[in-house]
Amino acid sequence: MEATTAQANELERRIDLSIAIENVEKEMEQRLKRMGKNIRMPGFRPGKVPFSIVKQQYGGQARHEVLSEELDRVFGETVTAQKLRVAGYPRIEPKASESTTHLEFSAIFEVYPDFTPADMSTVEVERPVLEVGAAEVDKTLDILRKQRVSYEDSDRTAAKEDRVVIDFVGKKDGEPFQGGQASDYPFILGQGMMLPDFEKAVEGARSGESRNFDLTFPADYFAKDLAGQTVQFEVSVKQVQAPRLPEVDADFAKSMGIADGDVAKMRAEIEANLKREVKRRIEGKVKDQVMEALIKANPISTPNALIEMEIQRLMQAAREDMEQRGMKVADMPIRPEWFADQARRRVVLGLILAELVKSEKLQPTPEQVRAMVEESAQSYEHPDEVVRWYYAQPQRLGEVEGLAIESNVVEWVLGKAKVTDKAAVFDELMGQKQ
């Protein structure tokens, strides 16, 4: 057995392997003899099948297994001796050889990049700052009230936030077009459920009123036969319903899970939940900046093998998600290129974080992981059960450990970078329309 190593490019390596035929044949015969003791074949007693027949029937399989194991062993010994960190799996190719005593192969593979994490002292990070108080609780209560809105008939003209029920017919060149008609169709004005010009035409109408108007579809409209086309609509308004928001009282508090209907207790719970959510969102925005800065500061080469593995993982996750939503995955093609950029980014970040954890000793402690689990559990009705759920499955706990590593890296970067605090706007931070 011999092995030599050559470098094809920055990350790709090629190792030439030489394996003695004698060793392969010897191990193959020993394996076939062991197999022969358990082989049953018509016309022979158990374990008494002639070796020549065993070899004829199973020799190819045994030889393939022995050769594969020998290649794995030789390859493993070589990369270990040369301290190579293999990324992914090697591609084994046979080599043309005039040798009568050895089989020649080439193993092509990639290695992890060697790099020193960049200095982060010049990085600038903007950290949002927001104190949660009564105003933020009131805004959240308004949102919760709108989520529980009811509607009642009104004889006034339709305005934004009203629900209207209509019959409509759309015609192109005097003929109804597919999807352009409906009866008893409800929608809420101002929520973008219909095209803006359509809603504008309905706004201001009363129950029992009809309106005729032209409408030009956007040039990028999903229905290609209608994109950029002007059509005519006939709309009959059958109902105008005004929104009715619930009062913030004991009944409302009970609907929010406060058994005794205590409004003050409800507000306190909302405030506590808001503080956790604001903290999470601020940490998320800071983390995004830090991760982007790490990528820019460390332009490392990425093993294609790792990217391909991550693409496959993301594709599988997408399939499982669609299946859970009741979608027929077989009818929906999932293309690897859809996930290429995301996979590359995840692999690059993974390599950088792993190097930082090793070089800066940023491994999370069990106490840190426990604290993160307990904090997350506070958002649920029975926190103790959630904690037990995490610790019952190593994979779940591993996800929290990953988040802990990211948190440690973020804190390390913030300790090096130029951090500026900036007052955040509640609506913007929470992603709400003002």
Asked whether residue 75 falls in the same domain as residue 155, the answer is no
Quote the pLDDT of residue 432: 64
Asked whether residue 414 falls in the same domain as residue 357, the answer is yes
Taking a C-beta distance cutoff of 8 angstroms, is the pair 233, 212 a contact?
Answer: yes
Q: Of 216, 244, 272, which closes a domain? A: 244
Q: Is residue 257 part of a domain?
A: no
Strand pairing class (124-129; 418-423): parallel
Average pLDDT over residues 376-391: 89
Residue 59's CATH number:
3.30.70.1050
Q: Is residue 358 part of a domain?
A: yes
Q: Is residue 140 part of a domain?
A: no
Q: Is 389 exposed, middle or buried (0-12, 13-18, 19+ CB in 10 A)?
A: middle
Q: Which residues contact 102 (CB under 8 A, 6 or more apart)?
A: 2, 18, 19, 20, 21
Q: At what angle do helices 304-324 and 340-360 cross, to 10 degrees?
A: 120
Asked whether residue 411 falls in the same domain as residue 273, the answer is yes
Q: Is residue 250 part of a domain?
A: no
Q: Is residue 278 part of a domain?
A: yes
Asked whether residue 390 falls in the same domain as residue 414, the answer is yes
Asked whether residue 73 falls in the same domain as residue 128, the answer is no
Percent of the chain residues past pLDDT 90, beyond the cut: 72
For 236-252, the pLDDT digits (tens) are 999 999 999 999 999 99
- Mean pLDDT of the residues in the chain: 91
> Residue 355: how many CA atoms within 13 Å on its side-chain side?
17
For 325-375, the pLDDT digits (tens) are 887 777 778 889 999 999 999 999 999 999 999 999 999 999 999 999 998
Does residue 112 surpass a pLDDT of 90? yes
Taking a C-beta distance cutoff of 8 angstroms, is the pair 178, 188 a contact?
Answer: no
Predicted confidence band at 433 (pLDDT cuts at 50, 70, 90)?
low
Domain span including residue 360: 124-134+263-429
Measured on CA atoms in the order 305, 310, 315, 317, is the torsion positive or negative? positive
Q: Is residue 434 part of a domain?
A: no
Q: Is residue 284 part of a domain?
A: yes
Asked whether residue 274 falls in the same domain as residue 405, the answer is yes
- Tell me the whole-structure pTM to 2 decimals: 0.73
Residue 334's CATH number:
1.10.3120.10
Amino acid present at 244: R
Asked whether residue 130 falls in the same domain as residue 167, the answer is no
Asked whether residue 189 falls in the same domain as residue 281, the answer is no
Nearest-Å Rg of the Cα atoms of the chain is: 34
Asked whether residue 285 falls in the same domain as residue 425, the answer is yes
Does residue 172 surpass a pLDDT of 90? yes
Does residue 4 surpass a pLDDT of 70? no
Asked whether residue 41 falls in the same domain as residue 178, the answer is no
Asked whether residue 34 falls in the same domain as residue 173, the answer is no
Domain count of the fold of the chain: 3
Q: Is residue 160 part of a domain?
A: yes
For 22-64, the pLDDT digits (tens) are 988 898 888 888 877 877 778 777 777 788 887 888 888 888 9
Asked whether residue 272 falls in the same domain as residue 416, the answer is yes
